[in-house]
Amino acid sequence: MSVLRPQDQLPGLNAATILLVGTDDALLQQLADAMLKEDCASTLKVHLAQSLPLPSNVNRPRIDLIVFVVNLHSKYSLQNVEESLHHVDATFFLGKVGFLATGGGRLP
């Protein structure tokens, strides 16, 4: 298990890999499906993870963007993101990390 670094691998030509990190599997899958349905000139791959670190794997693709999904009604969801941030290299935060808050419009 290792820290994610943006320069671990060379970028692919006209390809991007997005990592969605969050505790709500159904929401992550729905977001991934919506992203993949969009018409795009480049190849888009979306990977899902409940938390970081990711298992060490030589075949893991380069991660171009990490999106942390936080459910505002779940304390565990926020804790999960906070703990996962420790496994992301600081240079990833220069335009390669996004946060998405969900559940704000729903009643508890």
Predicted local confidence at residue 41, as pLDDT: 85
For the chain (108 residues), the mean pLDDT of every run of 10, in chain order, is 65 84 93 92 92 82 90 90 92 85 70
Phi-psi group of 61: left, alpha or beta (phi > 0 → left; psi -120 to 50 → alpha; rest → beta): beta
CB-based contact 101:15 (threshold 8 Å): no
Predicted local confidence at residue 106, as pLDDT: 59
Predicted local confidence at residue 20, as pLDDT: 95
Predicted local confidence at residue 66, as pLDDT: 92
Phi, psi of 9 (to 5 degrees): -135, 160
Model's pTM, two decimal places?
A: 0.84
Predicted local confidence at residue 19, as pLDDT: 93
Structure tokens at 25: 């599997």
Of all residues in the chain, what percent are helix, strand and coil, respectively (each to 5)? Answer: 25, 25, 45
Task: Give 60: exposed, middle or buried? Use CB within 10 Å, 0-12, 13-18, 19+.
Answer: middle
